[in-house]
């Protein structure tokens, strides 16, 4: 693993500013993005295995900016609720990665590891999200990252520990607790979507892209795509309908209280 230290200094840039910078990087090369590193604010290095294909660099930059925007929002939410937010890091990889939570392959999909407070995303998953699952669009990709940062928020709030303790006390309810965790992370992703709407940086179709991504990776749909019968007792993330419902709840309310999936 290499730490490339991608500069992420400019906060509040918005999707429009991000797209402009990415366009400039296509014209003048990726060096133009270094103008963001002013040295006056915090930066969040994105760790990744070497990006051998230059065509992937715009995606790396896009995901990194989304990380910056998502965490800036959560820092505000925590501050407004008298809490302190600690930033997560992002690990981008392809095919295989080792984490304190174990060895992960591309089939694992994106995940968050509370042991090192890092979100892990296989860049190939975004292509699969578009081609295999039929969920294209920048906002669909942003939803995936916002969901993983939602798990980081759960970790900071102590929800992760409480759920793991409950799973240990009653192993028969392990999957049910897992589903509630995942649906809450969907709702937290929706809170970020709500914040982007308030800043008027959403484009036409963005919300539909996010809802489409949530629906595309429901447990019931994944089981059908794999040629298996739907088995609710084996669910770990929730049905497509549940994922859409909780993501939409966060989108519409922007409220932590509205995301209590354990009530």
pLDDT for position 52: 57
Q: Would residue 11 count as lying in a domain?
A: no
pLDDT for position 163: 95
Q: Is 47 helix (H, G, I), strand (E, B) or coil?
A: strand
108-141 tens-digit pLDDT: 778 999 999 999 988 888 777 777 777 667 888 8
Residue 111: phi and psi, rounded to 5, are: -155, 160
Inter-axis angle of helices 138-156 and 174-198, nearest 10: 120
Lowest mean pLDDT among 120-129, 163-172, 182-191: 120-129
What's the pTM?
0.77
Asked if 14 and 68 count as a contact pair (C-beta separation under 8 A), the reply is: no
56-96 tens-digit pLDDT: 788 888 888 999 999 999 999 999 999 999 999 999 888 88
Q: Would residue 21 count as lying in a domain?
A: no
Higher pLDDT, 67 or 24: 67
Per-residue pLDDT band at 177 (split at 50, 70, 90): very high
Q: Would residue 125 count as lying in a domain?
A: yes
Q: Strands 46-48 and 89-93, how do they pair?
A: parallel
pLDDT for position 212: 82
Number of domains in the chain: 1
Which domain does 151 fall in, by range?
52-259
C-alpha–C-alpha distance, residues 218 and 201, integer Å: 27
Residues 6+ apart with CB under 8 A from 231: 223
Q: Would residue 153 count as lying in a domain?
A: yes
Beta-bridged to residue 121, according to DSSP, are 92
Q: Would residue 229 count as lying in a domain?
A: yes
C-alpha–C-alpha distance, residues 209 and 203, integer Å: 10
Q: Would residue 242 count as lying in a domain?
A: yes
C-alpha–C-alpha distance, residues 169 and 148, integer Å: 26
C-alpha–C-alpha distance, residues 9 and 35, integer Å: 9
Report the sign of the C-alpha dihedral through residues 85, 74, 62, 217, in that order: positive
């Amino acid at each position: 693993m290499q730490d490339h230290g991608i500069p992420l200094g400019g906060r509040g840039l918005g999707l429009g500013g991000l797209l402009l910078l990415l366009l400039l990087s296509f014209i003048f090369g990726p060096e133009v993005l270094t103008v963001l590193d002013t040295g006056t604010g915090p930066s969040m290095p994105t760790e990744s295995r070497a990006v051998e294909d230059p065509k992937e660099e715009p995606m790396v930059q896009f995901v990194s900016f989304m990380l910056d925007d998502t965490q800036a929002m959560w820092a505000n939410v925590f501050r407004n609720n008298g809490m302190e937010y600690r930033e997560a890091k992002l690990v981008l990889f392809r095919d295989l990665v080792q984490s304190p939570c174990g060895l992960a392959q591309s089939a694992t999909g994106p995940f968050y590891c509370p042991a090192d407070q890092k979100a892990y995303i296989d860049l190939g998953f975004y292509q699969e999200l578009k081609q295999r699952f039929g969920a294209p669009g920048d906002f669909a990709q942003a939803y995936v990252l916002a969901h993983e940062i939602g798990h980081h928020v759960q970790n900071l709030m102590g929800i992760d520990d409480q759920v793991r303790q409950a799973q240990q006390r009653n192993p028969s309810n392990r999957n049910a607790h897992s589903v509630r965790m995942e649906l809450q992370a969907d709702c937290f992703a929706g809170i970020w979507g709500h914040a982007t709407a308030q800043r008027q940086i959403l484009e036409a179709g963005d919300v539909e892209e996010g809802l489409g991504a949530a629906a595309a990776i429901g447990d019931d749909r994944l089981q059908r795509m794999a040629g298996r019968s739907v088995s609710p007792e084996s669910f770990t993330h929730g049905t497509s309908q549940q994922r859409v419902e909780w993501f939409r709840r966060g989108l519409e309310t922007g409220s932590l209280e509205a995301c209590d999936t354990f009530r």
